[in-house]
Amino acid sequence: MSNAQLIADAIDTLITLGWAALAWLAVLAAAVTVVLFAGTAVGAWAVSAVWRRTVGPSWARGRLRARILARTRVRRSSRRTAAQDYREAA
């Protein structure tokens, strides 16, 4: 084999390896894209589930949690109230 033939074979091998590397790059890019989209979808689902769990009436979160929230959020009136006078409307 002559030097020209060896150089041609080397160039042909480099071109073949280049195409193979490009194919692997495309496959890996597609796989990474699928993984990122799946991760984003799972993350959005988790955030929405947590959000749905935290909003809503306190009684929907369980009896103990509702009692705790009721004690911390409802305050008694500090004003004195006079006895109510219930008169019949004329």
Write out pLDDT tens, residues 7-30: 999 999 999 999 999 999 999 999
pTM tops 0.75: no
Question: How far is Cα 32 from Cα 38, in angstroms, rounded to an integer?
Answer: 10
Residue 6, both tokens: 């060896």
pLDDT number for residue 43? 96
Q: What tens-digit pLDDT sequence spans the chain (90 residues)?
A: 788 999 999 999 999 999 999 999 999 999 999 999 999 999 999 998 888 777 776 566 677 877 777 777 666 666 666 555 656 555
CA 12 vs CA 15, 21, 58, 61: distances in Å? 5, 14, 72, 68
Give the helix ranges, DSSP H, for the chain: 3-54, 63-73
